Chain A
Amino acid sequence: DAGVIQSPRHEVTEMGQEVTLRCKPISGHDYLFWYRQTMMRGLELLIYFNNNVPIDDSGMPEDRFSAKMPNASFSTLKIQPSEPRDSAVYFCASTLDAFGSYGYTFGSGTRLTVV
């Protein structure tokens, strides 16, 4: 298995533009998570899905952020409009079971820079 695949690896965009981050989880993993990592705030859970259904989006910072999972093999995180304070590394992770007993498998992340 190729693991959790995220694209793009790096994204530089101008303030006000729409940004879409993509994630392909490991096949068979029923849970998918989006995290954001910054120096100031560390690792923050934004939203997670179970069987393509959003379960908890309480970590999404504001309405500019939205996430979808149209099928078991694809998820997107969209920021519209983007702002400089959104600059961070965004990680996607997937896991097999309800308790994360096998841990989470993380993608390589997308480093977003909003100028």
Chain B
Amino acid sequence: AQSVSQHNHHVILSEAASLELGCNYSYGGTVNLFWYVQYPGQHLQLLLKYFSGDPLVKGIKGFEAEFIKSKFSFNLRKPSVQWSDTAEYFCAVSTNAGNMLTFGGGTRLMVKP
């Protein structure tokens, strides 16, 4: 079974700082990768996804993620964060051998104005 690790549980940044959230998964086969965002008091929303093609994926709100197969990683990046990016971010993986998304533990991002 696959598993997902998010290294940073809490990240605090100032506005305009650059963001990179780490995500590593363990699975030897073909994977589908996702980042979800959960704004305070809201449900999870899809930020971006990868399942084939260009390993650099662009999502909504200026976010992007890069799939590095050799490192089993799918890190989330944003060049300049805003206060409105304060949220919890979840990395998730599914495989072509099954149909469940496995979520990481989440990273809480706080952006100071």
CB-based A-B contact count at 8 angstroms = 54
Chain A residues positioned under 8 Å from B49 (CB to CB) = 101-103
How far does the alpha carbon of A42 sit from the alpha carbon of B105 in the complex, in Å? 6
Task: Give CA–CA (A91, B94) in the complex, Å.
Answer: 19
Interface size on B, residues (CB 8 A): 21
Interface residues on A, range: 20 to 34
A4 → chain B, closest Cβ, in Å? Answer: 8
B41 nearest CB across to chain A (Å): 9
Q: Which of B34, B42, B101 has the most CB atoms of chain A within a 10 A radius of its CB?
A: B101
Of residues 84 through 102 on chain B, the ones whose CB sits less than 8 Å from some CB of chain A are 90, 94-96, 98-101
A95 to chain B, nearest CB (A): 8
**A44 nearest in chain B by CB position:** B103
Q: How far is the CA of A79 from the CA of B5 in the complex (A)?
A: 30
Q: A residues engaging B (CB < 8 A)? A: 31, 33, 42-43, 45, 48, 50, 56, 91, 93, 95, 97-109
